[in-house]
Amino acid sequence: MESLSERDIYLARFGWHAASSGLALCGLAVVAFACLGGLVLWLALVIGAVGAVVFVVFSGMAGSRGPALCVDPEGVTLGGGPLRFGRVHPTHVPWPDIEAIVLWTRRLPTGATVRYIGIRVRADAEAPGPAGPALRVRGIRGPAPRAPRAPDLPNVPNVPNVPADVVALSRAVHGWRLDRSRLQAAVTAFAPGHVRVVEAP
């Protein structure tokens, strides 16, 4: 019989959702237009290449089924990027180091918004080690370094009302779905009593 801990583990994976499916289809449509639109050769090649890249990136992201977030008895693991060759790597933070799980939204210059999940850690928390065997079984492989803190964050965007160290230790909810109720259930089941899921104002 499955234990309570195993049932309450929250593991979210990249997959085929509305955004990834729509962008992959847009990439295919651009390729089709390049091939059938009667364009001059050089322009058709450029437009077709752009469409092919969009299709490969977003179909690869959806098809990877890689882990995006894991909340279990050991702590919280923010998955790497959806593509294996990306620069974002899995980061595991144990429960004793966590103060809160922060949900926040960033508004882009275009006016679009991107949802994020981040972790606020204790000021004296140590950097985590490699992801453990259980995490590797679930598809998250170490090592899993923690992002640096402010003021050593020159490349982290300035987001009002969200501390820079939380921004650095965040992942975009893009290409996967965040189930708030399952997240809350996992935090309630595994986290120390002081850890809360909070919305950035």
> Does residue 60 belong to any structural domain of this protein?
no
Selection from 201, 199, 197 nearest residue 69 by Cα: 197
d(CA 178, CA 137): 21
> Does residue 92 belong to any structural domain of this protein?
yes
Residue 117 pLDDT = 95
- Count the helix, strand and coil residues of the chain and give each as a percent rounded to the nearest 5: 35, 20, 40
> Does residue 90 belong to any structural domain of this protein?
yes
Note whether 116 and 103 are within 8 A (CB): yes
> Does residue 52 belong to any structural domain of this protein?
no
> Does residue 7 belong to any structural domain of this protein?
no
Residue 198 pLDDT = 93
Sheet holding 170-172, edge to edge: 170-172, 113-121, 98-107, 196-199
Average pLDDT over residues 186-201: 92
pLDDT: is 125 or 96 the higher one? 96
d(CA 76, CA 140): 12
Residue 135 pLDDT = 43
Give the pLDDT band of residue 76 (cuts 50, 70, 90). very high
Average confidence score pLDDT of the chain: 77
Question: At residue 9, does pLDDT exceed 70?
Answer: yes
> Does residue 89 belong to any structural domain of this protein?
yes
Counting the structural domains of the chain, the total is: 1
Question: At residue 180, does pLDDT exceed 90?
Answer: yes
d(CA 160, CA 200): 9
> Does residue 51 belong to any structural domain of this protein?
no
Give the pLDDT band of residue 179 (cuts 50, 70, 90). very high
Ranked by mean pLDDT, which of 87-96, 117-126, 128-137, 191-200 comes out on top?
Answer: 191-200
Residue 148 pLDDT = 41
Residue 136 carries which DSSP code?
A: H
Note whether 89 and 145 are within 8 A (CB): yes
Quick check: pTM over 0.75? no
Note whether 29 and 50 are within 8 A (CB): no
pLDDT (tens digit, 9 = 90+) per residue, 132-141?
444 443 444 4
pLDDT (tens digit, 9 = 90+) per residue, 21-61?
777 788 888 888 888 878 888 888 898 899 888 887 777 66
> Does residue 44 belong to any structural domain of this protein?
no
Residue-range definition of the domain harbouring residue 166: 73-122+129-199
Question: At residue 147, does pLDDT exceed 70?
Answer: no
Average pLDDT over residues 62-73: 80
Residue 121 pLDDT = 92
